[in-house]
Structure 1
Amino acid sequence: MTCFGLCLGGKASPPHNRVVEIDEEISTIENARVYSYRELRAATEDFCPVNKIGKGGFGSVYKGRLRDGKMAAIKVLSVESKQGVKEFLTEIKVISNIEHENLVKLYGCCAEGDHRILVYNYLENNSLSQTLLGGAHSSLQFSWITRTKICIGVARGLAFLHEEAQPYIVHRDIKASNILLDKDLTPKISDFGLAKLIPADLTHVSTRVAGTLGYLAPEYAMRGQLTRKADVYSFGILLLEIVSGRCNTNKRLPIEEQYLLERVWSCF
């Protein structure tokens, strides 16, 4: 995987040079439109709190209407975001070149000054973590037919990343908050900031461990050797969550019930 020409180790590049590098990298990406900050500010009504539909360690997501009338999810990365310049560019590079029913659609981005913003298609029913696993926070009903549809949809998205994309893509952060749902509850895999591209002639790549605790495959967490199996393990944890309707970790429960995988294991 390319390092996108970034100076990520050793002495940091001056802010101006980093902006130039980001601009140069984005200019080489064919399938992502570059939006102005002014345009996205107008689309979200000056990033009005009423339009905020999500918040996390990366920053905030706003609902907005673009000039062409399309509704969009506008992901604004905060200055303190865990998703740095490298992850920002990785997400654009990876998702702009692929398209699948079960993957989010990237419209474009903004890297104007200190602003780093990603613009995606708007998905009406937010994420699995806020709906199925959010308890009373959602009025959606998840029948077994719907849950099966979601499981199959995520599996199809992963199969595309692992088998059809060239080079193949390991997502590295499959979890409930990264599975978004459209108006028909069709699942879309999102957030490709940690994704790795792996050439077909390699069995694995050695890399720093990244992802979310509770979803990390043990062999990857211990040895740092990344294969597609890391995503398969995370998907298995996600399946348990979808079937049980609870998060894989819940510290409010009695100690013997806090970890879903241990709870399931004890039943066998």
Structure 2
Amino acid sequence: MGTQVTVWNEFVHEQENDTVADLYPDGIHATIAEALEDHGFDTQTATLQEPEHGLTEDVLAETDVLTWWGHTAHDEVDDEIVERVKDHVLEGMGLLVLHSGHFSKIFRELMGTTCGLKWREAAERERLWVVEPSHPIADGIDEYIQLEEAEMYGEHFDIPQPETLVFNSWFEGGEVFRSGCCYRRGSGKIFYFRPGHETYPVYHNDEIQQVLANAVEWATPNADLSEPVRGNHEPLEEIDTSDDRTVH
């Protein structure tokens, strides 16, 4: 069985906004899932409206990488589901947080910061510069990806320092932004990727789809990775345990 990807989307804008519905008639999740399928991954989708937001224990147990797109309904995500997703990330499931998912409960929980930023919606040009070309997420990407219409996100972005910064964006209005950020939490890998505003055709872009596929490949857990041993442990060598303070 290949890498199993669950593509999660709150699926609100597509049902309420004609512009978004025209761009993504079956939902942003369907477009992303189809693109990842074309790159050879096994995909399934889940949305906010489904029971347990489509993220049951069984679904997450078979998910290697979860992608997350949310914007207007962050507060509607049940805290119990957030904790469930967090537990699976810590146990090794990969997580791709997309665009306005920076304000999702799960991303803020894993980052431990507000994840606040500047923003402006003005259909302006974005150049998404590759600043770590040796990273596997940048594989097959030239010096930069240019998007002719994008929502601006600007610094300061209140996140922990990324372990690796793969992309840095410049916008037509002059701002810059850390747009491709890699983290590890527990045994899981996390990638935040900025592009993806719902009123622009970002997820139809071949280069953006290539980055998503690369990120899934990078975030896929290593099946041969051994579980760490924790808790009370017998000594490897003989020691004196006669002290009254010794806990047996």
Give the TM-score normalised by the residue count of structure 1: 0.26
Larger Rg: 2
Query: Greater relative contact order (Cα 8 A, min sep 6): structure 1 or 2?
Result: 2
